Structure 1
Amino acid sequence: MGTKDTMGCYCLAPHAVSPFSDCRAPDLVQEEFKKATGGNALMDSHALAIFLRENQGEEGVTDEEANIQIRSFLAVRAHSGRHKFPGMSQRHSKRELSGRQQPATLDISAFVKFLLNPESNGHQKFFNKGLKKQPTDDMTAPLSHYYIFASHNTYLTGNQLVSKCSTRPIVKALLNGCRVIELDCHDGKDGKIKVLHGGTLTKPVDFEDCIKEIKKHAFTASDYPVILTIESHLDQEHQKRAAMLLKEILGDMMFIPSPEHRPPIAFLSPEELKNRIIISDKPPGESVACQIKEEPETLDNLGSKSIPRTDDSDSEEDVQAKWERKMQRRQSKIAKNVALKVASMRCKDDENPSIAKIHEFEELLYIYCQKPKEMEARQVKGGPLVAGDRAIMANLAEPQLYRLIKEHPSSLTEFSKTNLGRVYPFGLRIDSSNANPTDAWSHGLQVAAINMQGHDRPVWISQAFFKRNGGCGYVKKPDFLLPGSTVDFKSLQPKLELTVKVLLGTDWHRHYDIFKKPDYFVKVAIHGFHDDEVKKRTEVKKRCSEPHWSEVFVFPLRVPELAILRLEVGEHDKFMRDDMVGQSCLPVTELRQGIRAVKLESKKGQPRNSKLLCDFSLCTLPRADLLI
């Protein structure tokens, strides 16, 4: 049992039973503990300061600051009642542990719990919760120099066919930092405008209510401009009504360009447009019937793309992948039948000629959006994108993007140096699933529109990517995608090396198997530039409630600015689909090096108790100054 020192501070004797003894220290943690303490059984503030400076990369940490960290950690643990110290009541523990007496100490078990605390030792760089961070990128370049956090059909609460339309997902998107909001507007009764997914059974929401909520929440998470994209199916009287509501409700918040800047020769910067709402149009979407006719292969391939094969799969993973691909094929057939029925519903859309924009509505537009086939003066069908003398936004369907990537990739990067490029999900993604946004970003396209209600991996990746630059919703593109650069994709060489070592999984939020202990594994993946993307996984730790791993994963990165690290924990089932335990995605540029706690989230992004302990290191590769 431990004793109090002469100053009244509690320390654990080397032979005492630790109140933190429920977690076995991984080998690497034991090595670092021994190295920092010089072989002693207890870590004092001086040893912790050495560890934080040398292993965690926290330069300048003093012994006094390390002592405060130990005391704060012990005080919180004691106050929570989760780990009371022998002979110490909860009423006195916080006072006695937080006093400014002789430095407190940690034994190896307490040190593990110290490392597993995501609040102080998380893998993401710190920011003040509830406060807007200042962006780290230069925000004075034109809009075309930035990736923009974008939503698709923002008003939908669920699938694209029968879900309810609401202002709630609009508010949620804005509070999460999204900067592009999309509303599909249709004529309603008594002069009202309804927002819904046209040609479907989605239940509408009132346009006026949407605009009021946008005004209320537009700049809660970020001061940088919100782009309100309106897909107009309105007749001229309803267009007048929409223009009037936008002016009355948004007032001075709305940016109204001068006539000579509709469209502009070059876009203004996010800094110049701070706290302003920009209006953009969007061509009415192609009917489902038209998309089936033009892109039949996309429908056939829709399901299989989400289950990629990996070169490093073991035999158990192959069995799992085969099972999932079989289920995907079955679901794809069902989806195709449903899609054909949806197509028959929406064929009537093709019969309605497009209605010309009236002056009252058009004078509000700053970003003009066009499909490739609408760029008739310079665009050849099936040819490359060609920029004009004015800055616009090209509106590309998912299949159009992949065709251009295959046939004319350089035209995408050149076009998007001075223009905006928007990519939206294929119309037959009825379940609100998404394409991989990094395919668009890797070619310089700024706006990868995401069905946020889809809760799939592209949603995780998009949300993680825009944690960069202070979470302001705008991220500066890499230099090789900006005007003046002539760098060829094929010439890019690895610039940064990320090393990930998964050490420990613990604090699981639920039990997965009734009759046996669970079998855990971790997927470790990089999403980003196409030559950087790779998916790996640890071995399955069978019948183990507290798995320890020792595999090391090394990722050489050509474009670390686009790289997203995904850690996803699964519980293996031999005859059924694996359980998804939790996931965490983070930009590589926001990682903190060293042994860090990774708190997992659910598929929908809800926090879970489950945690991983991982070791991260970042190493700049030689001659990186000659690369991008």
Structure 2
Amino acid sequence: MEEKSEEPMAFSVRVFTLQEEVRAEEEHMETPEEEVQVQEEVSREQQVSVCRQGAEQELTLLLSPGLEAQELTVQDANRASVFQLTVSKEMDCCQVGGQSFLVTVGKQSLLLQFTTPTDMKNFQRLLKRGDDEETRKGCPEEDERGNKDVERGQTRHPSTENGPTQDYQFHSCLSQHQNLLQDYLRITTYQRAILLNESDFRDKILVQNNCLSERIRVLEGKVEEVSCPDMVDVIVSEPMGYMLLNLKLMESFLHAKKWLRPNGLMFPSYGDIHLAPFSDEQLYFEHYARASFWQQRGFYGVNLSALHSATMEEFFRQPIVDSFDVQILMARSVKHCINFMEAKEEDLHRMEIPFVFTLLQSGLVHGLAFWFDVAYIGSKSTVWLSTAPTEPLTRWYQVRCLLQTPLFGKLGQTLSGTVLLVANDRQSYDINITATVDQSGFRSGNVLDLKDPFFSVLFGPETRESTLLELSTKRESAPDLAPTLFTVADLLQVSRASVFHTSRVTRAGVPPGIQGDGNLQSMLVGTVMRKIKSRTWKKQRYFKLQDDCMTIWYTSKKAGNTHSTFSVSDVEAIRDGHQSEVLLSIADEFPADRCFTLVFRGRRGNLDLVTESAEEAQSWIRGMRKLIENLENMGEREKLDHRLPRWIGDWFRKADKNNDGRMNFKEVQDLLKMMNVDMNEHHAHRLFTMADKSQSGTLEDDEFVLFYKMLTQRDDVLKVFQEYSVDGQTLSQSDLEDFLREKQLDGVDIQQHAKQLIERYEPSDTAKLLNAMTFDGFLMYLGSAEGSIFNPQWRGVFQDMSQPLCHYFISSSHNTYLMEDQLRGQSSVEGYIRALSRGCRCVEVDCWDGANGEPIVYHGHTFTSKILFKDVVNAVSNYAFKVSEYPVILSIENHCSVEQQRVMARHLNHILGDKLLKSTLDGKAPVGLPSPEDLKRKILLKAKKIGGLEESFNGMVEDSQTGEVSDEDEVAEINEDNLHRESVCRRKSKQRLSKELSDCVVYCKSVHFSNFKHSRIHSKFYEVASFTESKARKHLREAGTEFVHHNSRHLTRVYPSGFRTDSSNFNPQEMWNAGCQIVALNFQTAGEGMDLNDGLFGQNGSCGYVLKPSFMREVEKRFDPETPEQRDGYQPVVLTIQVISGQQLPKVNIKEDSIVDPLVRVEIHGVPMDQAKQETRYIENNGFNPVWYDTLRFTIHTPELAMVRFVVEDYDKTSKNDFVGQYTLPLGCMQQGYRHIYLLSRDGTSIPPSSLFVRIRITELD
């Protein structure tokens, strides 16, 4: 059969010459050996013509096979040849940008600008293919002989000749150099190695290239051929390839030692090749799947199956370059050490690495994983660069070599064998692996070609020849490339066990408001940052925004856990600059524009980060703020749409133990236990079979989503839906109105409200057109804020804010500076920032004399740490009005000398400026306390004052007066209780009070309390008394009505007993019952006290002020918490709560087979007569979807003061129940009807999707 000639490939290009003139001196210096061998010499005029035509019009580039080699021809529009050359080994090529190619022959360079990136890729592929064919034609006998040599284990000496594509795919390729420069760990390792050994490099001459200065000397040519005029002190190179040895640059590195002076240095100095067995069934089957194409028996009528075995052999000869989770390793690594200072070139030609592994787990060994470490040993310091899977990823990744047949090994058994590395003439190594499980005698092995790796993480079989160098991070094109853009940080987070592909779940759920945002695109690419914990703890981590735009992923060095994640919804705020104590401590090392802090909700510690540039910091700061803003602006339906794939994906990954991307029934059973479900095996298998649409015996992707939805089917809600649905499928608008009227007790315009609910929550457009609601829409409504137990009308500021300060409960903090207990705990300005950010409006500042004339803040006479008073004031100034505009009260406990009191006053005036209230609002003597509305964005001082407010207007205050500068003395309280000595219990610190500090006190003068009668006759409206919790209880017990009456005219502060050294809290409800406004709690301590505080102040916009009931504000009305039935307007109510079900309650026991036995306790906190608690029965072994239908009833005599707390616990008949979750709210904020209660963790943060479903009824007691 006559062989058809292959048609030349044609491309449309613009051609530019980059070198129109050749300097005469260069021509004169050129030697015959360096002359370019081209078939047709191109004249200078011809090149200028090419340049001119290429700039003006598109030319045609032809690449034809030719008889001996490829011919490259450029034609004009008339098909006239204007340029032609033969592709040869002297031609140097490299990619430039996305669609250009630079061709250099001798002194001439042509830039070929292709019309599309695809054309450029095709040209590159053809060029490479032609070179491969030339190489094969040129030395078939050598190839055959080489293969036989490898089989015999003979040493083959390296060839120094490289093909033309060898260079342009590596060091001649600009994109490669871009990746080298962008490899942060590579750059910084060399930087540290040099800077930490500065003396080794000082005053040395750089022998490199391009006579740039007297400090730089050029040697042109190969290392093996050139001569160095002088011996050198240090050799710096980067000879490492994949698995350390690929590309055989190490030989040239060792060859350069001939120039090294005795005792000279080599960077790197030492290398370790690590190997360890791994188990990865998914990877093994991927190789089989790649070859499935060749199993086709009717491909265009051709049976390809005969080639399947050869294809499998080829694929298994390919080492896999990728990254992996360290948990797949089955034993500790064995290492082979190479001392570059002592090794010879011939030592690298053949290396045999014996190994014996003791297996740390049972399972299949699919192959060996390789990585390397190199050390840079200077005279002063040694710096290591590691490519281990436990370390941040580098451009070298890791390498895995599969065995032809997996080996089964048991825990404790040994796997022994050898790895033989034999240098080949392709600038790389052949790898011969033999392995045996010693106890069973099972053997396996493989022979692989390191020169021909498979880049598993990045490319499929069709694009494997593309190099890793194409992983550019071009920010300007990121929005278009986002779905397929890979970077070093991407490689770290790619997992074979990833179930839900980008195109299928995560990308589809990206909120429309953030697509195309440059900051977010930068976050999606990932950034290396320093995680800072102290001046001495600074670790580099990769941080990356996941594709769902809801999760931040970062590397971690915790044992057994190479990475961590947190949700954007967990982040409360982002602070830029040095706005944390940790970052302030390193302000001299890192500038503020590179620093920022992520502040988490609840009591989780902050995350302090430092970037490499101000631009990177701003990208993360702006990007995170946009994500948080977008999350806050999301509707409930959007939030659910975003959270559901994440929840499902999380469950799948937890259950998919073998990481094969599928779940068999055994894994499903284990999953049910993890999800807190003890399901009948028959029922579980029935759901499994129903979801297994492919009948494969496993669940994948959409099948698992279906299984999850069946598992979470809400029969309890469906029962309510069908009660009002005429056809059982939809609720008409009329049906929905009936439901709102009869069950939800909706008091608004029901017809209009029903229309709004259908429009807002119904997902079906068809149902919307029919003014109807499907079950999905009904479930969406009940799961929204409108369907929750807290009435959304009371979320914003709705109360009258124009009444005197003493008419409000005020969110207040005790020992605000403490982060832990009050004996040895840490003091921190973070305590103030967190309290103010939670809406706290009264913070405590415990001041003492400090060194260098600077007052300090700490818990006196204890071992708590100390902070500067001025730092506290700065924090208050910055955060006082971030979440609420209403006034902040600084409760000063003053133990300072007059001199340092003056410093305090100076700091207050200077830092707070106009925020500090220094005089009455109208400049006149007041007759009553101003309102929160009057005092917006003002900071008040509560402290001792010389004289009264009236004297301030008469100018009668002097600096020489003395008195108690502090009214809170917990030490005195303890002594009083222990010693029972009057002289001790009345001892106070008496010293002079400075006029400057006294003048800062206006409406909140701290005074000692005598009794209610004295107060009624003599006390001024601006005087504030403070009580310990025990003193307050005593007054409440002995004179409850008087106490309430006193608090209708004066502010009262109650603080925890000094005996609470663990910073625990008392129940604030009993103090609120007496009308005490400033009930100070330890915000750093979670528990019932803070749950009640968060519940009370969660209403009214969380502004920190809640208006007291009218019977506690009006002087003429009398109220005694002990006898609430005697007050005017007494009307008790009956609260009926039907606890119906729970959803996805969190596990509280770390044991995998442990399942929660949940019960629900409802507590009523209020006046003594209302204090009550009732429990449901416990449901055995079901924390996923327990059902109770238990009804609890409470009679409440003072509903205006009642708080309702829902607590879920894990029942334990032998010990105390474990806490699962809680939710607390005022009775007056509860919505009636069918409602969801979204549970909070112990520290007050949400734990979605954990919830309770209840029905609420509140009726008046007859």
Whether these two folds match at TM > 0.5 is yes
| Partner residue in 2 for 1:528 | 1166
User: Residues of 2 paired with 1:537 and 1:148: CA distance?
Assistant: 32
| Partner residue in 1 for 2:896 | 234
| Partner residue in 2 for 1:612 | 1252
| Partner residue in 2 for 1:499 | 1136
Kindly indicate whether the alpha-carbon contact (under 8 Å) linking 2:1148 and 2:1219 is maintained by their aligned counterparts in 1.
no
User: Residues of 2 paired with 1:457 and 1:423: CA distance?
Assistant: 17
Q: Flag the 1:285–1:267 CA change in 2: closer, same or farther, 3 A.
A: closer
| Partner residue in 1 for 2:1206 | 567
Shift of 1:606: 1.6
Aligned partner of 1:369: which letter?
S
* Partner secondary structure for residue 149 of structure 1: strand
1:195-210 matches, cutoff 5 A: 195-210=857-872
Q: In the alignment, is residue 463 of structure 1 matched against residue 1154 of structure 2? A: no
Aligned partner of 1:106: which letter?
T
Q: TM-score, normalised by structure 1?
A: 0.76
| Partner residue in 2 for 1:327 | none
* Partner secondary structure for residue 1169 of structure 2: coil
**RMSD value, Cα:** 3.3
Q: In the alignment, is residue 424 of structure 1 matched against residue 1062 of structure 2? A: no
Higher fraction of strand:
2
Cα shift readout 1:171-211 (whole Å, capped 9, x = no counterpart): 11111111101110111111111111111111111111111
Aligned partner of 1:181: which letter?
V
Cα shift readout 1:403-432 (whole Å, capped 9, x = no counterpart): 112222222112112111111000111111
Q: In the alignment, is residue 295 of structure 1 matched against residue 957 of structure 2? A: no
Q: TM-score, normalised by structure 2?
A: 0.39
Cα shift readout 1:513-532 (whole Å, capped 9, x = no counterpart): 65464311011011122222
Aligned partner of 2:1258: which letter?
L
Q: In the alignment, is residue 508 of structure 1 matched against residue 1148 of structure 2? A: no
1:127-526 matches, cutoff 5 A: 135-258=797-920, 265-281=927-943, 284=966, 289-295=971-977, 353-366=989-1002, 367-372=1004-1009, 375=1010, 379=1011, 386=1016, 388-391=1018-1021, 392-489=1023-1120, 490=1123, 491-492=1126-1127, 493-510=1130-1147, 512=1149, 514-515=1152-1153, 517-526=1155-1164
| Partner residue in 2 for 1:106 | 774
* Partner secondary structure for residue 1025 of structure 2: strand
User: Residues of 1 paired with 2:1014 and 2:721: CA distance?
Assistant: 58
Kindly indicate whether the alpha-carbon contact (under 8 Å) linking 2:916 and 2:939 is maintained by their aligned counterparts in 1.
yes
Aligned partner of 1:225: which letter?
P
Question: Which range moves more in the overlay, 543-552 or 568-577?
Answer: 543-552
* Partner secondary structure for residue 454 of structure 1: coil
User: Residues of 1 paired with 2:782 and 2:1061: CA distance?
Assistant: 40
Shift of 1:258: 5.0
Q: 1:125 aligns with which of 785, 791, 794?
A: 791
Q: Flag the 1:533–1:351 CA change in 2: closer, same or farther, 3 A.
A: closer
User: Residues of 2 paired with 1:365 and 1:44: CA distance?
Assistant: 63
Q: In the alignment, is residue 47 of structure 1 matched against residue 715 of structure 2? A: no
1:68-107 matches, cutoff 5 A: 68-72=759-763, 105-107=773-775
User: Residues of 1 paired with 2:1155 and 2:821: CA distance?
Assistant: 36
User: Residues of 2 paired with 1:265 and 1:254: CA distance?
Assistant: 21
Q: 1:553 aligns with which of 1171, 1176, 1192?
A: 1192
Greater relative contact order (Cα < 8 A, sep 6+): 1
Cα shift readout 1:492-542 (whole Å, capped 9, x = no counterpart): 444333221111011123364654643110110111222222111111112
Q: Flag the 1:409–1:296 CA change in 2: closer, same or farther, 3 A.
A: farther
Cα shift readout 1:290-319 (whole Å, capped 9, x = no counterpart): 323433599xxxxxxxxxxxxxxxxxxxxx
Kindly indicate whether the alpha-carbon contact (under 8 Å) linking 1:232 and 1:284 is maintained by their aligned counterparts in 2.
yes
* Partner secondary structure for residue 1018 of structure 2: coil
User: Residues of 1 paired with 2:903 and 2:766: CA distance?
Assistant: 63
Q: Flag the 1:165–1:115 CA change in 2: closer, same or farther, 3 A.
A: same
Unmatched 5+ stretches in structure 1: 1-15, 75-96, 299-346, 623-628
Aligned partner of 2:1051: which letter?
L
Shift of 1:241: 0.7
* Partner secondary structure for residue 550 of structure 1: strand
Kindly indicate whether the alpha-carbon contact (under 8 Å) linking 2:1161 and 2:1173 is maintained by their aligned counterparts in 1.
yes
User: Residues of 2 paired with 1:244 and 1:499: CA distance?
Assistant: 57
| Partner residue in 2 for 1:57 | 745
* Partner secondary structure for residue 150 of structure 1: strand
1:580-591 matches, cutoff 5 A: 580-591=1219-1230
User: Residues of 2 paired with 1:297 and 1:352: CA distance?
Assistant: 16
Shift of 1:284: 3.1
Kindly indicate whether the alpha-carbon contact (under 8 Å) linking 2:974 and 2:1058 is maintained by their aligned counterparts in 1.
no
Kindly indicate whether the alpha-carbon contact (under 8 Å) linking 1:498 and 1:556 is maintained by their aligned counterparts in 2.
yes
Kindly indicate whether the alpha-carbon contact (under 8 Å) linking 2:976 and 2:984 is maintained by their aligned counterparts in 1.
no
Unmatched 5+ stretches in structure 2: 1-689, 692-705, 945-964
Kindly indicate whether the alpha-carbon contact (under 8 Å) linking 2:920 and 2:926 is maintained by their aligned counterparts in 1.
no
* Partner secondary structure for residue 600 of structure 1: strand
Q: Flag the 1:263–1:402 CA change in 2: closer, same or farther, 3 A.
A: farther
* Partner secondary structure for residue 121 of structure 1: coil
Aligned partner of 2:873: which letter?
I
Q: Flag the 1:547–1:45 CA change in 2: closer, same or farther, 3 A.
A: same
Cα shift readout 1:233-262 (whole Å, capped 9, x = no counterpart): 110111111111111111111111259999
Aligned partner of 2:899: which letter?
E
Shift of 1:51: 2.4
Identity percentage of aligned residues: 28
User: Residues of 1 paired with 2:729 and 2:922: CA distance?
Assistant: 74
Q: In the alignment, is residue 37 of structure 1 matched against residue 725 of structure 2? A: yes
Q: Flag the 1:446–1:104 CA change in 2: closer, same or farther, 3 A.
A: same
User: Residues of 1 paired with 2:908 and 2:836: CA distance?
Assistant: 18
Kindly indicate whether the alpha-carbon contact (under 8 Å) linking 1:152 and 1:451 is maintained by their aligned counterparts in 2.
yes
User: Residues of 2 paired with 1:219 and 1:395: CA distance?
Assistant: 25
Shift of 1:558: 2.6
Kindly indicate whether the alpha-carbon contact (under 8 Å) linking 1:497 and 1:618 is maintained by their aligned counterparts in 2.
yes
Kindly indicate whether the alpha-carbon contact (under 8 Å) linking 2:888 and 2:940 is maintained by their aligned counterparts in 1.
yes
Shift of 1:602: 0.9
Shift of 1:286: 5.7
Q: Flag the 1:404–1:539 CA change in 2: closer, same or farther, 3 A.
A: same
